[in-house]
């Protein structure tokens, strides 16, 4: 089968590798869609993080959906032919957090496409405990749009985990970063009952996409957030902030614009050390909560329920490329002006 692997140097390589075995407790999946993530771009660049975290020769990719084609010994809850999405964090099941039901905090997490072979391949094998089945739909009956969205349930889950970390009903929400996950987080907050939602970014193409989705979106270098608050009739600052960019200036701006007692959920990984006014954090009684991945599997139930009640995140998917055209897909994702870029394994 064909797989996209890293050789421990800049650039990925599409190679022919043997079809994987299906160990006990695992399922084999025919990949139908896969999303390109920032993690994949880091591995492609073979930057300092990739060199420290990734084993050369691994098949990359961790966001995907597919059809179960083989069941390993001992698997009783799933069947060949089911359409599924994959949870990319494989946990040990034995550490304190796993045993307490906090699997997203497992201290021995092994990541699909990083420490173990991932989904940028025709077939992928994952533990049955990492399977999320989509009931009532098969690979044959699913629409193109359904497959596209099922292929990004991993980052959709990041957005849900971040947006729902704090109550947002009736609250004013600031989202910093209009990338695909930031846009999905804003859509989740709106679906969950937020009042005003403002999105910031530096890329005009992403701001335009945010505006096309009905959000107030701005470049903070060109518009003042305090003025926007006055424009919207906000007199006390934002109640909740979702930091999705990793930009140091964004975090500083959030601190300046949160209400007393404001809360921030922080998914973006900082690109550089950040100097914060912790005096304001203390005196304004601000809460800063780091977010990593998805709560397994509470977040999955939440996003499935929202999808069933009308939340459609498909507009954040702006580009779809055939798997064989992966180089162009990576170029598009790397440019930073697209929404979500996905690979289609069916053509």
Domain CATH number, residue 219: 3.40.50.720
Helix (H) or strand (E) holding 147: helix 144-150
User: Do residues 164 and 135 both lie within one domain?
Assistant: no
Whole-Å CA distances, 155 to 12, 160, 283, 298: 22, 9, 34, 15
pLDDT, tens digit (0-9, with 9 covering 90-100), for 26-58: 999 999 999 999 999 999 999 988 999 998 999
Task: Tell me if 194 sits within 8 A of 171, measured CB to CB.
Answer: yes
Q: Does position 79 have pLDDT exceeding 90, yes or no?
A: yes
User: Do residues 236 and 335 both lie within one domain?
Assistant: no
User: Do residues 116 and 202 both lie within one domain?
Assistant: no
DSSP result, 56-114: TT-B---EEEEEEEEE-TT--S--TTEEEEE--EE--S-SHHHHTT-GGG-TT-EEBTT
Q: What does the block give as tokens for 200?
A: 């910031």
Q: Does position 347 have pLDDT exceeding 90, yes or no?
A: no
Please indicate, yes or no, if residue 265 is contained in any of the structural domains: yes
> Domain containing 247: what range?
159-290
Please indicate, yes or no, if residue 98 is contained in any of the structural domains: yes
Q: What is the pLDDT of residue 317?
A: 97
H, E, C per residue of 151-184: CCHHHHHHHHHHHCCCCCCCCCEEEECCCHHHHH
Q: What average pLDDT does the segment 306-312 reach?
A: 95
User: Do residues 189 and 105 both lie within one domain?
Assistant: no
Q: Does position 330 have pLDDT exceeding 80, yes or no?
A: yes
User: Do residues 111 and 235 both lie within one domain?
Assistant: no
0.85 surpassed by pTM: yes
* Mean pLDDT over the full length of the chain: 95
Total domain count for the chain? 2
Please indicate, yes or no, if residue 271 is contained in any of the structural domains: yes
pLDDT band at 134 (very low <50, low <70, confident <90, very high): very high
| Best CA proximity match to 67, nearest among 85, 87, 88, 83 | 83
For tokens 């304001």, what's the residue?
A: 280
Please indicate, yes or no, if residue 303 is contained in any of the structural domains: no
User: Do residues 168 and 252 both lie within one domain?
Assistant: yes
Q: How many residues belong to the chain?
A: 347
Q: Residue 99 belongs to a domain with what CATH number?
A: 3.90.180.10
Q: Exposure string (b/e) for 145-161, b if CB count within 10 Å is 16 or more?
A: ebbbbbbbbbbbbbbbb
Task: Tell how far CA 12 is from the center of its chain.
Answer: 21
Q: Which residues face 197 on adjacent strands?
A: 173
User: Do residues 192 and 66 both lie within one domain?
Assistant: no
User: Do residues 211 and 284 both lie within one domain?
Assistant: yes
How far apart are the C-alpha atoms of 240 and 293, rounded to whole Å?
Answer: 19
For tokens 């193409």, what's the residue?
A: 205
Task: Tell me if 13 sits within 8 A of 327, measured CB to CB.
Answer: no
User: Do residues 265 and 338 both lie within one domain?
Assistant: no
Please indicate, yes or no, if residue 304 is contained in any of the structural domains: no
**Is the alpha carbon torsion for 46, 320, 304, 131 positive or negative?**
negative
Please indicate, yes or no, if residue 100 is contained in any of the structural domains: yes
pLDDT, tens digit (0-9, with 9 covering 90-100), for 203-244: 999 999 999 999 999 999 999 999 999 999 998 999 999 999
User: Do residues 214 and 244 both lie within one domain?
Assistant: yes
DSSP result, 115-127: TB--SSBSEEEEE
Please indicate, yes or no, if residue 205 is contained in any of the structural domains: yes
Catalytic residues: 39, 42
Q: Does position 274 have pLDDT exceeding 90, yes or no?
A: no
Please indicate, yes or no, if residue 8 is contained in any of the structural domains: yes
Three-state DSSP at 300 gives helix
User: Do residues 28 and 148 both lie within one domain?
Assistant: yes
User: Do residues 204 and 337 both lie within one domain?
Assistant: no
């Amino acid at each position: 089968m064909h797989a996209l692997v890293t050789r421990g140097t800049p650039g990925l390589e599409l190679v022919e590798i043997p079809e994987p075995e299906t160990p006990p407790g695992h399922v084999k999946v025919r990949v139908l869609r896969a999303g390109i993530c920032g993690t994949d771009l880091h591995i492609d660049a073979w930057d300092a993080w990739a060199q420290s975290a990734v084993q050369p020769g691994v098949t990359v990719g961790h966001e995907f959906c597919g059809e179960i084609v083989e069941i390993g010994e001992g698997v009783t809850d799933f069947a060949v032919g089911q359409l599924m999405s994959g949870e990319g964090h494989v946990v040990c099941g034995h550490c304190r957090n796993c045993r307490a039901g906090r699997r997203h905090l497992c201290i021995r997490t092994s990541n699909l496409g990083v420490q173990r072979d991932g989904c940028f391949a025709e077939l992928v094998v994952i533990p049955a405990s990492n399977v999320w089945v989509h009931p009532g739909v098969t690979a044959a009956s699913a629409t193109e749009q359904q497959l596209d969205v099922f292929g990004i349930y991993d980052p959709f889950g990041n957005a849900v985990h971040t947006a729902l970390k704090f109550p947002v009903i009736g609250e004013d929400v600031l989202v910093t970063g209009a990338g695909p996950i930031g846009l999905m987080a804003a859509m989740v907050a709106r679906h969950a009952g937020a009042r005003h939602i403002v999105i910031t970014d530096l890329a005009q193409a992403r701001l335009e996409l945010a505006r096309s989705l009905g959000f107030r979106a701005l470049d903070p270098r060109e518009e003042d957030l305090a003025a926007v608050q006055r424009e919207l009739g906000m007199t006390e600052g934002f109640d909740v902030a979702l930091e999705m960019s990793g930009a140091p200036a964004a975090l500083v701006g959030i601190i300046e614009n949160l209400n007393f007692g404001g809360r921030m959920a922080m998914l973006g990984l900082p690109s550089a050390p950040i100097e914060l006014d912790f005096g304001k954090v203390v005196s304004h009684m601000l809460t800063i909560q780091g977010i990593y991945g998805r709560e397994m599997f509470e977040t999955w139930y939440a996003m499935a329920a929202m999808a069933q009640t009308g939340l459609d995140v498909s507009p954040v998917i702006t580009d779809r490329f055939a798997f064989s055209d992966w180089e162009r897909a990576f170029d598009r994702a790397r440019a930073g002006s697209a929404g979500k870029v996905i690979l289609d394994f069916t053509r």
